[in-house]
Amino acid sequence: MNVAIYSRKVNKQVITHFELLLQVLRSFGWIPVLERDLKKQLESKLTSVKNCKVFDSHKDLKSGIDLMISLGGDGTFIESVGYVRDSNVPILGINTGRLGFLANISKEDIQNRLQMVHEKRYEFQLRSLLRISTEENLFGVDNFALNEVTIHKKDTSSMITVHASLDNKYLNSYWSDGLIVSTPTGSTAYSLSCGGPIVTPGCKVHILTPIAPHNLNVRPMVVPDHMPIRISVEGRERKYLISIDGKSMNIRNRTEVLIEKAEFMINVIKFEDNNFLDTIRNKMMWGIDKRN
């Protein structure tokens, strides 16, 4: 079994966890395959990675890889999705960051969880993605998002107007700092910080959340994910920002953006005793009395 491993940056705090991860994989007879830049970082710290295979792009995961392990925070997990794409390779997220909604396996629990994977005591949780299209093909082949697509203002304090239609029917014009269109996965990300609802994975919906709307009667809206969303932005400036999972590009005034559900989904490895409701409750400290 070939296991791809991705992480952003290796520091003193996580090197022991990498060492344990590699040790456990090899004890199962599994072959670690490191992202090229990650291997370069590890070579000066761990001699055991010298003969490890490497991967460079999503094309290398199309065949021969059975599992992807993301070691870091949720940002690292999202970047690993860029390698997996439509290959159907499942992802296991190990959290060495802070919050960890996606990478929610504790770094102290690496050995136990990998043992459960080895014994096939897990399930797949399907996560939907967004696909965006623009006339200029702004993001090329990287035009998909696990969390959200956001249009927001740039270099100005003036609010903007984001026109939105749903299934080719006019919905609203948002006078605001911007608009977020998120998946259920992204409901606990930027959308949540702007007052959007928490949606459990598996719900077939998208969420439209305005950023600091001028009209207080405008609220986040949940819509079926089979309905295409078209948005365009206008204001006093010539250019604005469009972001997909944190990757930003300039977008011109009145450029139309089509947002649809992507044709593929991501398989996330989950365990029976570590479900979404447990994660939400623990991360957001629900049910804990902090008044004293």
Q: How far apart are the first and last CA of the chain?
A: 51
Parallel, antiparallel or unpaired: strands 266-270 and 123-127: antiparallel
Is 155 annotated in the active site? no
Cβ pair 177, 211 in contact under 8 A = yes
Cβ pair 149, 246 in contact under 8 A = no
Cβ pair 43, 49 in contact under 8 A = yes
Distance CA 108, CA 130 (A): 33
Of the candidates 74, 177, 225, 245, the residue annotated as catalytic is 74
Active-site positions read 74
